[in-house]
Structure 1
């Protein structure tokens, strides 16, 4: 069955995550994700809080990266989450974004991701044979010194491009296309997964495709779409060139980027046409958002992820998604 998830930013005070998680689980959501964005709270804090407040939903960070966190630490954090949630954790890995702001180079990203996943997998499974990679190593006998709930947790890779998708096809359970609400990307990603899946002797259909993006839902659809335009303006320059199915008006990205750099986010958002907005965000009334999500379901996604800020306020958005959007979806 297709999963519906919520993606949360880690910018809330203690207690807020538990309230949102309880509401989301009661409404019927399947997965709760916490973003691992630079300079926000580490996602393990909200994830552990939500693990204690829920009983059913899957939980995971999307994504951690192997440049700011060593693989043994990634293994430890995901083992802790899996223990706290009684086996409901998943691990999201990606190369990371904007790490130059903290002086972290990102050499050989595909090698880093593949080797980090290998080291994490060996540590969780208790494999003591050692590992010698190009970037990460484990000495023979190195092992985690505590019990794990499971010897393996599901792995999600965050990627858009063909090489990243091929890696996901080889080693991951899911691939997440972040910042996209475009159903045309589902077929693109399926073909990009295929070479890696084939090389690993896997059925490409076994690898789940996750699409997630900024979501703003409200009974005032115009207000919701205006807020979504402002949010999308801040990342349009990053994702626009990654989507081969979208043709943007000439000069749009440059002008939006100029206005964002000048701090004029709302003015930048007003430049984004409605059809472009719908490729990179879920927005509008509950009916409009449900229609967008259903298009992804019909295109063959494994999971739709409604990202922050969810609504004009977070709690109002989560409530509307649960009470008025979920009931409209056929999965």
Structure 2
């Protein structure tokens, strides 16, 4: 099966913007549209429903919803609504999330929380009213959704980097997304981690697709695109640098970049990010450069490449270049 190509959108746009971008994406031939569920942005269900109304083919989902800030029965309702609005094109994305300490939400027992949330969501979608007694979540016997659902089993994507999260994906998910990475070496690392869970669950190795997605900035002016990408990467380098076991980003570099970001000096922080580090955590440059980065992931065995925001020096311009120059290069 050939690799899918998707777009990841931040939920910071105005009504109508999502519909316009979704139409462009489907016309260009993208396979998947994801909306990030990042802290303090619009809830992803709003853009997803707007995009569902104007598309007919692309798969749609939030990458990802968070069971610490949204109860599993609410998650079930949102994925059911999206699946109904899109006529069966929704996927469910779940992850433990990050930065929740900023809003006073603790995150204990992340593996159990994500696994049990998925179990509750799918029991509800399948109409299983027998009850569920987990260590984090429960359903009393007789508890069931009071509305019809389009599908009882929309595919599950787990967002995770580490060995335990990857093994969990191997046991219960259809896909695992490594967010914030463009490093081809991570594909094999994650696939090996996922395989442990696949085998433990009696699944076939390779059942779970590996998805890599990261900040993307493409433009005919490759230097300008890479400069903007450096600024974007600087803002999350402290989160992802230690998660990549082979990146080898110097700790003093991470500390200096993080200090400048904390001071609001984002462009200055970005200028500290060297080319080799930039290419591990973002797709950036001319269309040929971005296509080469994506092709390296495909060659490494990724099932889907997800080009994340801001896409270009302007959002529409970036989506158009990805669709007219990068996507055709990947499908020759």
Q: Same fold (TM over 0.5)?
A: yes
Q: What residue in structure 2 maps to residue 188 of structure 1?
A: 189
Q: Matches of 2:206 and 2:137 in 1, distance apart?
A: 30
Is residue 283 from structure 1 mapped to residue 258 from structure 2 by the alignment? no
What are the Cα deviations for residues 14-46 of structure 1, in whole angstroms up to 9, with x where unaligned?
000000000000000000000000000000000
| Contact 1:33-1:59 within 8 A present in 2 as well | yes
Is 1:150 aligned to 2:151, yes or no? yes
Structure 1 residue 250: Cα displacement: 5.3
Q: What is the alpha-carbon distance in structure 1 between the residues aligned to residue 96 and residue 160 of structure 2?
A: 8
Q: State the partner residue of 1:38.
A: 39
Consecutive unaligned residues in structure 2, runs of 5 or more: none
Distance in 1 (alpha carbons) for counterparts of 2:323 and 2:96: 32
Alignment of 1:90-239 (within 5 A): 90-239=91-240
User: Which secondary structure does the structure 1 equivalent of 2:206 belong to?
Assistant: helix
CA distance in 2, matches of 1:168, 1:206: 10
Question: Are positions 1:79 and 2:80 aligned together?
Answer: yes
Q: CA RMSD in A?
A: 0.8
> Which residue in the other structure is 1:251 paired with?
252
In 2, the alpha carbon distance for the partners of 1:67 and 1:323 equals 39
Equivalent-residue separation in structure 1 for 2:301 and 2:197 (angstroms): 19
Cα distance per residue 1:24-82 (max 9 Å; x no partner)? 00000000000000000000000000000100000000000111100000000000000
* Secondary structure of the corresponding residue to residue 204 of structure 1: coil
State TM-score, norm by structure 1: 0.99
Contact 1:294–1:330 (Cα < 8 Å) also in 2? no
Please give the alpha-carbon distance, in whole angstroms, between the structure 1 residues aligned to 2:89 and 2:27. 16
Match of 1:25 in 2: 26
Superposed structure 1 runs of 4+ greater than 2 Å apart: none
Shift of residue 263 of structure 1?
1.0
Contact 2:198 2:207 in 1 (8 A): no
Normalising by structure 2, we get a TM-score of 0.99
Which stretch shows the higher mean deviation, 84-93 or 266-275? 266-275
Q: C-alpha displacement at 1:248, in angstroms?
A: 2.1
Q: How many residues align?
A: 331
Query: How far apart, CA to CA, are the structure 1 residues paired with 2:9 and 2:324?
Result: 18
Gaps of 5+ in 1: none
Residue aligning to 2:298:
297
Q: Which residue of 2 aligns with 1:69?
A: 70
- Classify the secondary structure of the residue corresponding to 1:112: helix
Shift of 1:139: 1.0
Distance in 1 separating the partners of 2:83 and 2:249: 42
Aligned equivalents of 2:133 and 2:250: distance in 1? 48
Q: CA deviation at 1:103?
A: 1.1
CA distance in 1, matches of 2:271, 2:327: 29
Report if the CA contact (8 A) 1:11-1:41 is conserved: yes
Q: What SS is found at the alignment partner of 2:248?
A: coil
- Once residues 248 and 305 of structure 1 are traced to their aligned partners in structure 2, the CA distance between those partners, rounded to angstroms, is 23
